[in-house]
Structure 1
Amino acid sequence: MPTKTYTTIQGDMWDTVAYRVYGNEYLMTDLIDANPRHRNIVVFPAGIQLSIPEIESPEPMTLPPWKRGGS
């Protein structure tokens, strides 16, 4: 399976990229970990290509036990 990538636009920040690709800015840590070469960038210039790791979505704890997956 090919690796997903995201090409930054001027002014992107880690949290905005995470929100654009995952719909959740709190997953920016996963992006930073997948792109250690760029970890010191706060505000991105245009044209930086970032690797977008596959994130497994946790099941919401608001689901009743019989609707949760598991063994």
Structure 2
Amino acid sequence: MQGKTYSTIQGDTWDMIAYRMYGNEYLMTELIDANPKHRNIVVFSAGTLIAVPEIADPEPDNLPPWKRGGSS
């Protein structure tokens, strides 16, 4: 898994980190899955290194069929 790392700031939470790194707090599940040893942490102390996996941008649901990816 290729990606970046993030060093936590005192008081960080999974959703805050996801918002900072991806612009979407709902992607915190991907962060948690990439960091199983920190899974039980709710509020981080400063300096914890978190792996930040690359996530492909999801295709919008409102695209017409001819603009959607994949094979036809």
Deviations 1:8-65 (A, max 9, x none): 0011000000000011111101100100111111000010000001112220111111
- Percent identity, aligned pairs only, is 73
Give the structure-1-normalised TM-score: 0.91
The secondary structure found in structure 1 opposite 2:59 is coil
State the aligned residue count: 71
What one-letter code is carried by the residue in structure 1 that aligns with 2:11? G
Give the structure-2-normalised TM-score: 0.90
- In structure 2, the partner of 1:15 is 15
Distance 2:3 2:53 in 1: 8
- In structure 2, the partner of 1:63 is 63
Aligned alpha-carbon RMSD (Å): 1.5
- In structure 2, the partner of 1:48 is 48
- Please list every run of 5 or more consecutive structure 2 residues that lacks an aligned counterpart in the other structure: none
- Please list every run of 5 or more consecutive structure 1 residues that lacks an aligned counterpart in the other structure: none
After TM superposition, where is structure 1 displaced by more than 6 Å over at least 4 residues in a row? none
